[in-house]
Structure 1
Amino acid sequence: MLPLTTRWLFSVRPVRRFSLTGCYRYKFSTSLTARAAAAEIPNTLGTLSTSSTPSTPNPFQGIRLRDYQEECIQSVLNSLKNGHKRLGISLATGSGKTVIFTQLIDRIKNGSNEASQTLILAHRRELVEQAARHCTSAYPHKTVEIEMGNIRASGTADITIASIQSINSSDRINKFDPKRFKLVLVDEAHHIVAPGYLRTLEHFGLDRKRDDSPALVGVSATLSRTDGLRLGAAIDEIVYHKDYVDMIGDKWLSDVVFTTVESTADVSNVGTSSNGDFQTRELSKVVNTKQVNEITVRSWLAKASERKSTLVFCVDLSHIDGLTKTFRQFGIDARFVTGDTPKVERGKILDAFRRQEFPVLVNCGVFTEGTDIPNIDCVVLARPTRSRNLLIQMIGRGMRLHPDKTDCHIIDMVSSLSIGIVTTPTLFGLDPSELVEKATVSDLERLKSSRETKDVEISRNIHFVKYDSVFDLIADTSGERHIRAISHHAWVQVGQDKWVLCGPSGTFIRLEKVKAQGNEGGEFVASEIRALPEGVSKSRFAKPRRLLTTSTFADAVHGCDKYASEHYPHILIWRHQSWRNGPPTDGQLNFLNKLRGEDDKLTAHDITKGKAADMITKIRHGARGRFAALDADRRRKEKRESLGREKERTMQIRELVSVGPLSA
């Protein structure tokens, strides 16, 4: 949607016109001239010059493109010239993809004398209407029609903008003759491999590369997928990519500062949806609590109360209700918009928000794509996500330039469990649990660089930490982070996918992940291993007794905890016992110092009794063997470093977009 100053520049008015096809043709009235509004057009669309005359035949004579916009267009034209047909463009939110769209319509020439029409596809009403306004302004001499809902296009217009749902409804697509189209443009093209899009592409001969098909150009700020569907099924190559970090550095987008706040929400038991993100209903129950909502509001008050226009992203309607009420309880005028908000009411709320009449606007998923509210100077991510795409879409709402702001403050409410979470630091290759305080893009880049200089090696599937000694390994407690977010018992990780909970007299429970036949992901098996009295057997332990087998880690941990609480003394297994914070025993220190050497011995001031107990458990249950295996892996990797050292050392960011061919 256009900013307030230009919102009425191209007002949409459907006009009933009788025709043999019985379609409605959209007419657009201009209440302001392009010359009068030139200075008001936002920076995202390039610069409009007022020196052109009304009689200029070229609609783009007065537009001065940004350097990267012209580079992008040339990349598309060169790729088409080389025979490619299905192209992708990756551009950050706020980069002005609409002006690139409209430029391509004129600059991509007809494949034949017959092919001259253009089709623009989008999946949301706002995107359809936005494209219609811009096309009508850019091409006043071309016919522009919409295919959406009850509005039906004729199929013969110079430019047709269609919602993907409507064009696939009934037989509406049949009126579009593929031979008459030179170009198909797809907005928010990360959706392009959804069934509706694929059916439409097949109709136009774009389901595979064909010499006689129209050109296909898809544009998105997040040109990647998380659900396993390959974009290569619809796009052959990405011809241009400009990241939001580059655009911030070049001052085409607003400066951004990031703050992460640990919200205490525990998502360890939240299931996964079909698209790989958290299940909405389960996530809402965890996030939408009085405690978490108060932490969110208090964080905003402490870090961003001076901000004029804050956009808050929630999980669902219930979360919107809970968080909006919490803001109001703290005296903040917070209002909300949902997908069910009537269009007129939504427009009034957005207009008031643009005029900065209230400071906080709460929503869930309404403004992740195709929304232009450049005055947003703060974004609160009140919902955790596993999707880097969604994260970028959300923070992108605050990156547009606006004269009333110097930067946008992103407040990321990070869940207490980092496993599987994508946070703002992960966009820079940092650990998702990294907490930052008003960090700029430059700060995070420097932090990433400093992390990469440490002895951390990363392969595609395994995270290797370089331990210089067995003691470094047993002192590392990062392996307990996941299980201790689920359990209050003193579990210790003793190997890859293997954990131990110690009971009385040397007895312990062992939980491990094993591969199961017919189950690609494996299953979790828990066993109790009882210590035997001396002299009873040559073995120190009885044969393991299986306690349970489950398909999920959380169920396995909860089952083991229930068994342990019923059979083991609470004082031994409870992680929060006061004795664990006391000084270590002499026996513990002597045992551990055998690994330290004469010049680096531990004292009672260096470690607690609980920490010492955990470290000894690791040693007794395989730390030495694990260290040897890791050390061997490290040596093998060092031998291969000439072939891929940089690739292994660079933090792999999930869903990374790069220029080049895509695999199907």
Structure 2
Amino acid sequence: MQLSLFAPEASKITLRPYQEEALSAIEEAYTRGIRRPVVALATGLGKTIVFSELLRRRGDTAMVIAHRDELIRQAVEKIRFVIPHAEIGIVKAEENQKDAQIVVASIQSLHEKRLRQWMPDRFATIVIDEAHHAIAPSYRRVAEYFRPDILLGVTATPFRGDRITLAEVFDDVVYSFGIVDGIRSGYLADIEAYRIETDINLDHVRTMAGDFSEKELIQAINTEERNQIVVHAYQHHADGKKTIIFAAGVPHAMQLVDRFRAVGIPADAVFGHTPVQERRSILERFRTGLVPVLVNVGVLTEGFDEPSVEAVILARPTKSRVLYTQMVGRGTRLSPGKDRLILIDVVDSTTRHRLISISELIGVPGDVKSGRRVTEAIREDEEERTKGYRTAIVQALPDARSERVTDLFRDFRPPEYDWRDVLRMLDMHREDTESYASGRDAFRERWGDAPDTSVTDGQIAALTGFGWPKRELKRLTRYEASYCIEQHLDLLQDVRRQRVEAWSEVLDLPPERVAQKFTQPWQFKPVTDKQKALLARFHVDVPPVMTAGEASILIDLLLSRPKEKDEAEVV
């Protein structure tokens, strides 16, 4: 089947520019043979509208897969809005409207017996909502059974680490429009961020499935003193505002509710096991403002749409960018009279774990100053970065295309190769016993080494270059060290491609020549003291975010150009 963007009926909606771009990206990727694309749109940017419009334009059979009742209801509602005359069926629990043109199904209902009621080629298009869940065995089973013309994944998390994981099911992330893009374009509310630090240490809390063990995390942070800090933070920064609080677990949530009520602030809590009618009643009280504070545990991260939320309190830490993005996204939708989201991040101390923060989310180095607007932090970071690069390039190479620096270098971010990110990925890999065993076998076949022996000196040197402490290296096997090195290199591919493209255009150099400066771990680290000293001799100021590889490009060009009289004395 050809991908056809000729509408079977006239569209009744006007898409936003980025939504049209997303659809165009899917079409363009299709022409390149990509049949399993991913589109990443931040929460509140209308990804359900995007895939509904794709179904309308294709005008064929389709299945949409989601994992929560709220997401299923949203999908049916939006598809019906975009395609009023569509025949939509629901497959969930006892419902089994399997013969509809468009089927919206819960992943829990798609067990092997139910899958067999359809032929593998029954659906021309299959959409997996919240596609970051697609690595789970239940989703893999569905992806392996069906043979659609397009298997589209949609997600709110366009991070590189997630792309690596998604590659087990999908081909590529063909389009991303993240939270920063949404805020900058005026489609999402600005964020006023507050960082509230505690004395709780999390180093002893173990990791499970890529994030903190819930039981151990509750034991660590559910203290009277810390819970009171949360209440005080609300009173100081968001008093009276409609606020969602994310807790670590049920006991933690209940203690928070008690603390709020103790000081006269109405508060409710909602959990996964809360009965449907009770949950609806709680959410209605929250929507009307009767209860301004709503504490939850993992319930409101997906499928909850309440634009009037004015504040979000992260009373639980996380190592997951997916979860952090989802939690913040609960408050970034626009609403009349709302000029920003107040984000209160309660931060504990740790050296072993890498906690996700607002700085990670928006790509700004260092901590965002408490009380700052995200737009201010981003603008200042971009201005400082592009000015620094432009100055250095003009000083080193006056004939370079420096006028392109602002556009090409604006989105540069410090390379992310934090060893704790990769340790988290390794922990998840270990838990997937089938994938882990397969990787060990492939390692043995490729290298002829015993995968469970100690790490080699070369592996230690490579991982040390990525910042790994020796205490952690001692815990790795030879196979695990190899796996971690590969993940580090994969995480840097986006950085490498972006920098090669930018420097090639600015300096009018062949990409392959520039690419040589981004092949080794040290080249992604900050400029060395030796490089700074050499560039200073040529009167070149080094911007703080420049990498060693980028400095090497300038040094090579400076040393290779014909020496003028005053330069001869310098060199």
Shorter-normalised TM range: 0.5 to 0.7
Task: Indicate if the aligned counterparts of 1:515 and 1:521 stay in contact, CA closer than 8 A.
Answer: no
Q: How does 1:185-224 map to 2 (within 5 A)?
A: 185-205=127-147, 213-224=148-159
State the shift of 1:441 in Å: 1.2
State the shift of 1:427 in Å: 2.0
| 2:221 is the counterpart of 1:287 | yes
Change (3 A) 1:160 1:517: closer
Task: Indicate if the aligned counterparts of 1:143 and 1:158 stay in contact, CA closer than 8 A.
Answer: yes
Task: Indicate if the aligned counterparts of 2:528 and 2:548 stay in contact, CA closer than 8 A.
Answer: no
Given the alignment, which residue of 96, 106, 112 partners 1:152?
96
Task: Tell me the residue number matched to 1:354.
Answer: 287
State the secondary structure of the residue aligned to 1:161. strand
State the secondary structure of the residue aligned to 2:116. helix
Structure possessing the higher radius of gyration over alpha carbons: 1
In terms of fraction of residues, the more strand-rich structure is 1
Task: Tell me the residue number matched to 2:41.
Answer: 91
Task: Tell me the residue number matched to 1:382.
Answer: 315
Change (3 A) 1:257 1:634: same
State the secondary structure of the residue aligned to 1:233. coil
Task: Tell me the residue number matched to 2:192.
Answer: 257
In terms of fraction of residues, the more helix-rich structure is 2
C-alpha distance in 2 between matches for 1:235 and 1:461: 23
Change (3 A) 1:422 1:68: same
Task: Indicate if the aligned counterparts of 1:90 and 1:222 stay in contact, CA closer than 8 A.
Answer: yes
Task: Tell me the residue number matched to 1:162.
Answer: 105
1:427-458 CA-to-partner distances (Å, cap 9, x unmatched) read 234466x362221112322564588679xx97
1:532-559 CA-to-partner distances (Å, cap 9, x unmatched) read xxxxxxxxxxxxxxxxxxxxxxxxxxxx
Task: Tell me the residue number matched to 1:141.
Answer: 85
Change (3 A) 1:324 1:180: same
Q: How does 1:626-645 map to 2 (within 5 A)?
A: 634-635=529-530
Identical-pair percentage: 33
Q: Which amino acid aligns with 1:202?
A: E
Task: Tell me the residue number matched to 2:230.
Answer: 296
Q: Which amino acid aligns with 1:282?
A: E
Task: Indicate if the aligned counterparts of 1:335 and 1:360 stay in contact, CA closer than 8 A.
Answer: yes
Task: Tell me the residue number matched to 2:253.
Answer: 320
Given the alignment, which residue of 391, 397, 409 partners 2:330?
397
State the shift of 1:91 in Å: 0.5
State the secondary structure of the residue aligned to 1:238. strand
**Greater CA drift, 118-127 or 217-226:** 217-226
Task: Tell me the residue number matched to 2:360.
Answer: 426
State the shift of 1:345 in Å: 1.1
Task: Indicate if the aligned counterparts of 1:92 and 1:242 stay in contact, CA closer than 8 A.
Answer: yes
1:112-169 CA-to-partner distances (Å, cap 9, x unmatched) read xxxx310101111211121122223433433211111121233x2100011111112x
C-alpha distance in 1 between matches for 2:325 and 2:349: 21
Report the TM-score, using the length of structure 1 for normalisation: 0.58
Task: Indicate if the aligned counterparts of 1:69 and 1:100 stay in contact, CA closer than 8 A.
Answer: yes
C-alpha distance in 2 between matches for 1:195 and 1:315: 25
C-alpha distance in 2 between matches for 1:218 and 1:632: 39
Task: Tell me the residue number matched to 2:115.
Answer: 173
Task: Indicate if the aligned counterparts of 1:425 and 1:444 stay in contact, CA closer than 8 A.
Answer: no
Change (3 A) 1:450 1:97: closer
Task: Indicate if the aligned counterparts of 1:92 and 1:243 stay in contact, CA closer than 8 A.
Answer: yes
Task: Tell me the residue number matched to 2:30.
Answer: 80
State the shift of 1:633 in Å: 5.9
Q: How does 1:23-62 map to 2 (within 5 A)?
A: 61-62=11-12
State the secondary structure of the residue aligned to 1:412. strand
Task: Indicate if the aligned counterparts of 1:265 and 1:415 stay in contact, CA closer than 8 A.
Answer: yes
State the secondary structure of the residue aligned to 2:40. strand
Report the TM-score, using the length of structure 2 for normalisation: 0.67
Q: Which amino acid aligns with 1:174?
A: R
State the secondary structure of the residue aligned to 1:202. helix
Given the alignment, which residue of 466, 471, 485 partners 1:513?
471
Task: Indicate if the aligned counterparts of 2:91 and 2:105 stay in contact, CA closer than 8 A.
Answer: yes
Task: Indicate if the aligned counterparts of 2:527 and 2:546 stay in contact, CA closer than 8 A.
Answer: no
Q: Which amino acid aligns with 2:64?
A: I
Change (3 A) 1:298 1:520: farther
Q: Which amino acid aligns with 1:513?
A: R
Q: Which amino acid aligns with 1:304?
A: A
Task: Tell me the residue number matched to 2:305.
Answer: 372
State the shift of 1:521 in Å: 11
Task: Indicate if the aligned counterparts of 1:514 and 1:522 stay in contact, CA closer than 8 A.
Answer: no
C-alpha distance in 2 between matches for 1:310 and 1:515: 43
Task: Indicate if the aligned counterparts of 1:187 and 1:218 stay in contact, CA closer than 8 A.
Answer: yes
State the secondary structure of the residue aligned to 2:74. helix
Change (3 A) 1:647 1:171: farther
C-alpha distance in 1 between matches for 2:118 and 2:108: 15
State the shift of 1:67 in Å: 1.2
Task: Indicate if the aligned counterparts of 1:225 and 1:231 stay in contact, CA closer than 8 A.
Answer: no
C-alpha distance in 2 between matches for 1:135 and 1:631: 49
C-alpha distance in 1 between matches for 2:45 and 2:305: 11
C-alpha distance in 1 between matches for 2:347 and 2:378: 20
